[in-house]
Amino acid sequence: MTAQQNDLPFYEPAGNEIDLFEHAHRNHLPVLIKGPTGVGKTRFVAYMAAKLNLPLYTVACHDDLTAADLVGRHLIGDGATYWSDGPLTRAVREGGICYLDEVVEARKDTTVVIHPLADHRRVLPIDRTGEVLHAPDNFMLVVSYNPGYQNFLKGMKPSTRQRFLALRFDFPDAAREEAVLIGETGCDEMTAKRLVSIGRSLRALKDVDLEEVASTRLLVYAAILIRDGMDTVEACRASLVEALTDDLEVAAALDEVVLATFGR
């Protein structure tokens, strides 16, 4: 769970997000990152953790995740019980970034523990042990969510939202996305350009012909397959076309987009 120090993971910045994150960290402010899937939210947090030399505790939230899962629980062993810290508690005790991914998925009672940590108090009360932990200077809370998935029952409460600095991640522009593909996979420039062009064509179909559109992650997959010597069109079919639609006619059209770009 702890990111390796020293060697930074590859991250291609979009704007001033690195700077903003550093300001937030220096001033003990929590950060919320929102954006569609696969555009580098997780990667960014990993990068920042390494850059700031902080351990990273990532929790993928789901709808059965309770406050107790974050804080910790009593375990039984050798006829006695002992307390085991949850990821949030460990981050507060030892310092570091606690990253709650897809935070809107978590159960409502998690807000109870997040709120006092995410404002000026910066405390984590653990009712079961009676402790009240004060977060050290190098503790930072980061949450992320994908506004697209959010159904209207699962929005984020304003009282939670307004405790965070917010950063919006979006599909990168063409030049940056090419840089991501090259940096991430070492593919050649032409391949990167073409994959990005395909990605952008497919994004034009959002909400009309496709429910979900190609993320940078999928383009990375395609680039990896191509770099590995796979036929470009086959690679795109597996990583993009079939990943995005089950409709045969739509898939045929996406195939044509790939062909129009890579050609035969």
Q: Which residues bind Mg ion (CB under 5 A)?
A: 41-42
Q: How far apart are CA 25 and CA 52, in angstroms?
A: 9
Shortest Å, Cβ 80 to other proteins: 8
Looking at the Cβ atoms of 191 and 216, the one nearer to ligand ATP is 216
184 binds, among other proteins, Mg ion, ligand ATP, none (CB under 5 to 8 A by kind): ligand ATP
Q: 93 with 133: CB under 8 angstroms?
A: yes
For ligand ATP, the binding residue among 184, 195, 222, 226 (CB under 6 A) is: 184
Residues 188-227 that bind ligand ATP (CB under 6 A): 216-217, 220
Which positions from 55 to 74 touch other proteins by CB under 8 A, shown as an x/- string? ---------x-x-x----xx
Under DSSP, the state recorded for 65 is -
Tokens 């309770």 belong to residue: 66
Q: How far apart are CA 74 and CA 149, in angstroms?
A: 34
Inter-helix orientation angle 110-118/87-94, to 10°: 20
Closest CA to 217 of 197, 194, 199: 199
The residue range among 1-9, 38-46, 85-93, 122-130 that interacts with other proteins, by the rule CB under 8 A, is 122-130
Q: How far apart are CA 135 and CA 54, in angstroms?
A: 14
Q: How far apart are CA 188 and CA 130, in angstroms?
A: 58
Inter-helix orientation angle 189-203/216-227, to 10°: 140
Which positions from 176 to 215 touch other proteins by CB under 8 A, shown as an x/- string? ------------------x--x---xx-xx-xxxxx----
Answer positive or negative: Cα dihedral of 38, 186, 22, 20. negative
128 binds, among Mg ion, ligand ATP, other proteins, none (CB under 5 to 8 A by kind): other proteins
132 binds other proteins, rule: CB under 8 A: no
What residues make contact with other proteins under the rule CB under 8 A? 64, 66, 68, 73-76, 80-83, 127-129, 152, 194, 197, 201-202, 204-205, 207-211, 249-250, 252-254, 256-264
What residues make contact with ligand ATP under the rule CB under 6 A? 10-12, 35, 37-43, 146, 180, 184, 216-217, 220
